Amino acid sequence: MNQRVDEQVDLLLEQLGPLTEDDMLVLVEAWEREDEAARRRAWTRAKTEISQRGLDRSLEHARHTVARWAAAGRSDYHGIGGLLGLPNDGARLRMLAGPAVLDAVVGMLAGDGLDDLERDTLTRPWRALHESAEADG
């Protein structure tokens, strides 16, 4: 089971590279609509479940991958803003979208160890992104 979950998480993480600014905006807006207290409760339960399933390393791998993706790189500093040390909009959106991506990963790793509401709280923003893409496509 752990290998299957790891493969699902890797597939999700592979989808980060091609996200557009519009995609990230949908993700951030959907994440911000979620109840923060419900998200914290879901995270608390999910972390326990992830540990019990022996998936702590998978979570750490995902955290590092999302952090690298969200971090502003040299190419994110251009124009007047770059001269002032400000990253471009894409970099700022990646930083804002990072928590939503990590929530989706945590929801996947904890799986059926969460109740439907907890899992939905963590994964709904990621699903909203894909539902938006399907509606546009």
- Residue 101 and residue 107: Cα distance in Å, rounded? 10
Percent of the chain's residues with pLDDT above 90: 63
Q: Mean pLDDT over residues 77-105, rounded?
A: 71
- Decide if 101 contacts 17 (C-beta within 8 A): no
Which tens digit of pLDDT belongs to each residue from 24-72? 999 999 999 999 999 999 999 999 999 999 999 999 999 999 998 887 5
Domain count, the chain: 1
Domain span including residue 123: 2-136
**C-alpha distances in Å from residue 39, one per residue of 9, 54, 75, 116, 117:** 19, 22, 33, 13, 10
pLDDT reported for residue 82: 45
Confidence of residue 113 (pLDDT cuts 50, 70, 90): very high
Residue 22 predicted with pLDDT over 50: yes
The burial of 47, by beta-carbon neighbours within 10 Å (0-12 exposed, 13-18 middle, 19 or more buried), is given as middle
- Residue 58 and residue 37: Cα distance in Å, rounded? 25
Residue 2 predicted with pLDDT over 50: yes
- Residue 83 and residue 62: Cα distance in Å, rounded? 32
Look at the block and give the residue holding tokens 């399907």.
134
Contacts of residue 99, defined as CB under 8 A and 6 or more positions apart, other chains included, come to 31
Percent of the chain's residues with pLDDT above 70: 81
